[in-house]
């Protein structure tokens, strides 16, 4: 009869999308519960699930010019090259928040979190997907912040030892 398919649980991430047609969309991207926005962008699926109100749309990744994660007021977000906004935890000046680790995390877990984020945001990886240059500029800026945060934590640990 009818075969029921299993859909993996997803969670919404508030975003502002600018499409290649210059249309601006505010709403939510539905990402797998265990993934973040970067993993969703890096994933093999060619489409993003976008929700605006009760409407659900499947958008081709190639049709997206830029994505800004919405946290609070969009106008308050700092801009980087190409007019791309950096928001959320990657806008934090606290290296532990940026890497997503507790202050008392072990050096191994800090290193593991750093390596995972570096893989997720590596610009070569994103460029190989054929994404728009503004998305790769965003990833490059985030990668710089990730590297700086890890260096700060590492430097502080060496000074304490």
Alpha helices in the chain (DSSP H): 37-42, 95-99, 107-121, 123-128, 133-160
**pLDDT score of 68:** 83
**pLDDT score of 110:** 93
Q: Which architecture, in CATH terms, is 10-160? A: Roll (2.30)
Contact 16, 25 (CB under 8 A): yes
**pLDDT score of 100:** 87
Q: What is the value of pTM for the model shown?
A: 0.49
Q: Output the CA torsion sign for 120, 28, 50, 9.
A: positive
**pLDDT score of 106:** 92
**pLDDT score of 56:** 86
**pLDDT score of 71:** 55
Domain-by-domain residue ranges, the chain?
10-160
**pLDDT score of 88:** 65
In this prediction, the residues of the chain whose per-residue pLDDT falls under 70 are: 1-7, 71-88
**pLDDT score of 90:** 76
**pLDDT score of 75:** 39
């Amino acid at each position: 009869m009818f075969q029921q398919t299993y859909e993996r649980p997803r969670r919404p991430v508030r975003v502002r999308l600018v499409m290649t047609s210059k249309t601006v969309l505010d709403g939510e991207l539905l990402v797998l519960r265990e993934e973040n926005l970067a993993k969703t962008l890096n994933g093999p699926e060619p489409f993003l699930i976008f929700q605006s109100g009760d409407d659900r749309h499947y958008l081709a990744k190639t049709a997206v010019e830029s994505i800004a994660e919405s946290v609070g007021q969009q106008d308050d977000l700092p801009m980087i090259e190409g007019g791309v906004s950096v928001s959320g935890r990657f806008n934090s000046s606290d290296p532990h928040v940026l890497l997503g680790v507790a202050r008392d995390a072990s050096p191994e877990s800090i290193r593991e979190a750093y390596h995972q984020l570096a893989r997720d945001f590596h610009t070569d990886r994103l460029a190989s997907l054929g994404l728009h240059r503004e998305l790769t500029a965003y990833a490059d800026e985030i990668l710089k912040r990730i590297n700086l945060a890890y260096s700060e934590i590492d430097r502080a640990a060496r000074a304490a030892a």
